[in-house]
Amino acid sequence: MKLAYRNNIFNVTLIVFALVILFFLSVPILKMFVGVGSDKLMDAIKDGEVISSILLTMKVSMWAMVFVIITGLPLAYLIARYDFFGKSFLEAMIDIPIMIPHTAAGIALLSTFGDTGLGDFFKFFGIEFVGTEYGIMIAMMFLSAPFLINAAKDGFRKVDPKLENVARTLGANPFRVFFAISIPNARKDIVNGALMMWSRGLGEFGAVIILVYHPMTTPVLIFDRFSSYGLSYSAPVAAVIIGFSALVFLIIRFIVNRFD
Amino acid sequence: MSYLSIKHLSNSVAGFSLKDIDLDIEKGEYFVLLGQSGAGKTRLLEAIAGLYKSSGTIFYKKDEISKKNPEHRDIGFVYQDFALFPNMNVEENIVFAGRYREVEKKEEHFRDIVDFLDLQNLLERSISDLSGGEKQRIAIARAIYAKPKILLLDEPLSAIDPTFRNSIMKKLKEIHRRYDLTTIHVTHNFREASYLADKIAIIMDGSIEQIGSPDEVLNHPKTIEIAKFLGFKNIFSTALLDQEEKVNYFSIDPNLIHVVKAESNNCFDYSFKGNIEECMGITDHFKLFVNVNENQFFIKIPKRDYENCLSGVNNFITIGFNEKDIAYL
């Protein structure tokens, strides 16, 4: 629907308020690219430490996302399809990481998976969470998994259970129904949730820095350069990670929309 | 033993119960389950298909299928809204069962269904831009492609434009015969039931209330509730006919009650004096509501025979009907 009455005072009011929020959302991003200057931007792109931190951040955030796709989709499906004792409590528990300060989440993760019995248990299998990629992954996962789980839950709720019933009568067992009917018909929400989780993971700082300072993810590197050398050294790194993230985001969106 | 034998089937989900359902359905039978909305028709079909946990037993020939999962029961299901898979095109929907089941002479069978249901031009289409009739044909094609032992149809005509209902009812009968199916068709429409059914069961509030041939069920309802559901009007105690020895009820079709114009012409087996309470003009007829000793008769009289809805007469008239037209309940 087009804005039919351009002089309508209501529409003008809407546009004015929309422009205010768009200003605050877009100008800092644009300023990042314009203010940094192309020389510094190119230097940052050529900087091996910057590139390896960006690749590390993207890779680990992706692994966190894959882990939650494998384990979180069944959880989202259970919540969407069945009523059971403690369901509301479970849903609230999934949402808690969204609400707590990220540094507090980092402390919670460190006291659970750091130098503890549980930490030693994982160490036995060669998985250590302090100062490793596993630590980055668990921090990203802890704080951004709710975005994927909640989106998938909404997606599964939109899939008519009758589709699954019919598929059963046509010979598909529950696993096949899940993969052939439930997931494909909830894919829009799942993909949106996955992208949201992945991009949210890219920006995770508070929890990551408590568990893992080295190897440095990009947010930690930006903080490190800002605190050691100031704004002019950290801004190009920030601009590069924003550019990379936006590029990957657009490519995935393009692919998803093409196959829809 | 019958082809499909359901014994003491009960379940209770979300505050609604199916109560001790017994049904025997023969091979090749077109069985119609007739009931109002909320009577438990769809629930019963889903229980037969194994989609709800139920107590009781279901035998297919001598094989107890009630312990089997839905994917092992060989029962085809067509929902009221057709439940086509939105992530697949028409052809993928139809052949879905082929991914999981051995379908004999796959290609030949597929071609036959596509030709018979006239789906050739739809195969590549997405299901989102199809009409109700097209969706219905595809849902039926998908169910029969799997070669089910029994086909369950849940109100298949309710989402269809009324103009096409008669031709689709005819098609359903043809499909039933051509693919040698045993069909259970659920509906709330007794005209649909009378056209299609070899046998009818009336379901009310989760219980089967009457089973029999269409003539038996539709013309001789066992209870007043069934009679009312089937559209019977003018249900009164037989005491009104001076048949006090039998405590029973009768019904008389509003079209078969006549207004006695002159006492000399009163040749009806039963006649009553009554008070006109209301007269409504409807296209070609009047609906007349006449109070006879606190019993309200509903009568339809043609407009061409009566001008101004009997406004010329005083409020009291005589109505009459014949014994042969009475349906005893």
Q: Identify whether residues B10 and B150 lie together within a single domain.
A: yes
Q: Is B79 at the interface with chain A, CB within 8 A?
A: yes
Tell me, yes or no, whether B28 lies in a domain: yes
Antiparallel, parallel or unpaired: β B4-13 and B55-60: antiparallel
Q: Is A256 at the interface with chain B, CB within 8 A?
A: no
A167 vs B contacts (CB less than 8 Å): 85, 96
Q: Is A180 at the interface with chain B, CB within 8 A?
A: yes
Determine how many CB atoms are found less than 10 A away from the CB of residue B21. 25
Chain A: give the shortest CA distance to residue B143, in Å.
7
- Strand, helix or coil at B85? coil
Q: Identify whether residues B59 and B120 lie together within a single domain.
A: yes
DSSP conformational letter for B187: E
B146 vs A contacts (CB less than 8 Å): 169-171
Cβ separation B71–A172 shorter than 8 A: yes
Tell me, yes or no, whether B190 lies in a domain: yes
Q: Identify whether residues B165 and B24 lie together within a single domain.
A: yes
Tell me, yes or no, whether B230 lies in a domain: no
Angle at B285 between CA B283 and CA B291, to 5 degrees: 130
Nearest to B96 by CA among A170, A46, A18: A170
Q: Identify whether residues B218 and B239 lie together within a single domain.
A: no
User: Which residue among B188, B222, B256 closes a domain?
Assistant: B222
Which CATH number do you get for residue B317?
A: 2.40.50.100
- The pLDDT value given to residue A260: 64
The Cβ-side half-sphere exposure at B157, using a 13 Å CA radius, reads 24
Chain A neighbours among B 84-103 (CB < 8 Å)? 85-87, 96-97, 99-101
Q: Is A38 at the interface with chain B, CB within 8 A?
A: no
Q: Identify whether residues B259 and B186 lie together within a single domain.
A: no
Tell me, yes or no, whether B198 lies in a domain: yes
Cβ separation B87–A170 shorter than 8 A: no
Cβ separation A165–B49 shorter than 8 A: yes
Domain that holds residue B133: 4-222
CA distance B63 to B5: 10
Chain A residue closest in CA terms to B143: A170
Q: Tally A–B CB contacts below 8 A.
A: 70
Which uninterrupted H or E stretch holds B57?
Answer: strand B55-60
Q: Is A260 at the interface with chain B, CB within 8 A?
A: no
Q: Is B126 at the interface with chain A, CB within 8 A?
A: no
Tell me, yes or no, whether B324 lies in a domain: yes
Q: Identify whether residues B201 and B276 lie together within a single domain.
A: no
Q: Is A161 at the interface with chain B, CB within 8 A?
A: no
Nearest to B42 by CA among B150, B172, B136, B155: B155
Q: How far is CA B102 from CA A4, A175, B95, in A?
A: 58, 19, 11
The DSSP line for B127-181 is GGG--HHHHHHHHHHHHHHT--SEEEEESTTTTS-HHHHHHHHHHHHHHHHHTT-
B148 vs A contacts (CB less than 8 Å): 169
Q: Is B76 at the interface with chain A, CB within 8 A?
A: yes
For chain B, list residues with pLDDT below 70.
243-247, 263-265, 310-314
Q: Identify whether residues B216 and B324 lie together within a single domain.
A: no
A189 vs B contacts (CB less than 8 Å): none
Determine how many CB atoms are found less than 10 A away from the CB of residue B131. 12
Determine how many CB atoms are found less than 10 A away from the CB of residue B281. 11
Cβ separation A163–B146 shorter than 8 A: no
Q: Are B269 and B329 a contacting pair, CB within 8 Å?
A: no
Mutate to test the interface with B, among A81, A162, A168, A170 (most CBs of B within 10 A): A170
Q: What is the pLDDT along chain A (260 residues), one digit of tens a residue?
A: 565 556 688 889 999 999 999 999 999 888 888 888 888 889 999 999 999 999 999 999 999 999 999 999 999 999 999 999 999 999 999 999 989 999 999 999 999 999 999 999 999 999 999 999 999 999 999 999 999 999 999 999 999 999 999 999 999 999 999 999 999 999 999 999 999 999 899 999 999 999 999 999 999 999 999 999 999 899 999 999 888 888 888 888 788 777 66
Tell me, yes or no, whether B123 lies in a domain: yes
A168 vs B contacts (CB less than 8 Å): 49-51, 69-71
Q: Is B138 at the interface with chain A, CB within 8 A?
A: no
Q: Is A231 exposed, middle or buried (0-12, 13-18, 19+ CB in 10 A)?
A: exposed
ipTM for the complex shown: 0.86
Q: Identify whether residues B240 and B157 lie together within a single domain.
A: no
Q: Identify whether residues B271 and B214 lie together within a single domain.
A: no
Q: Identify whether residues B79 and B199 lie together within a single domain.
A: yes
Q: Identify whether residues B175 and B240 lie together within a single domain.
A: no
- The pLDDT value given to residue B246: 62
B152 token code pair:
């369950």
Antiparallel, parallel or unpaired: β B150-154 and B258-260: unpaired
Q: Is B60 at the interface with chain A, CB within 8 A?
A: no
Chain A residue closest in CA terms to B96: A170
User: Which residue among B190, B222, B254 closes a domain?
Assistant: B222
Q: Is B199 at the interface with chain A, CB within 8 A?
A: no
CA B184 to chain centre: 11
User: How many distinct structural domains can be found in chain B?
Assistant: 2
Q: Are B251 and B237 a contacting pair, CB within 8 Å?
A: no
Tell me, yes or no, whether B228 lies in a domain: no
Q: Identify whether residues B71 and B137 lie together within a single domain.
A: yes
- The pLDDT value given to residue B190: 87
Which residues does residue B77 pair with via DSSP β-bridges, in sequence order? B152
Which CATH number do you get for residue B96?
A: 3.40.50.300
User: Cα-flanking dihedrals φ and ψ of residue B61, to 5°?
Assistant: 55, -115
Chain B neighbours among A 186-225 (CB < 8 Å)? 187
Q: Are B321 and B257 a contacting pair, CB within 8 Å?
A: yes
B85 vs A contacts (CB less than 8 Å): 163, 166-167, 181, 185
Tell me, yes or no, whether B229 lies in a domain: no
Q: Is B76 exposed, middle or buried (0-12, 13-18, 19+ CB in 10 A)?
A: buried
Antiparallel, parallel or unpaired: β B258-260 and B316-321: antiparallel
CA B222 to chain centre: 16
User: Which residue among B222, B248, B267 closes a domain?
Assistant: B222
Chain A: give the shortest CA distance to residue B81, in Å.
9
Q: How far is CA B279 from CA A124, B47, B235, B262, in A?
A: 91, 47, 20, 20
A169 vs B contacts (CB less than 8 Å): 49, 51, 70-71, 73, 75-77, 143, 146, 148
Chain A neighbours among B 144-173 (CB < 8 Å)? 146, 148
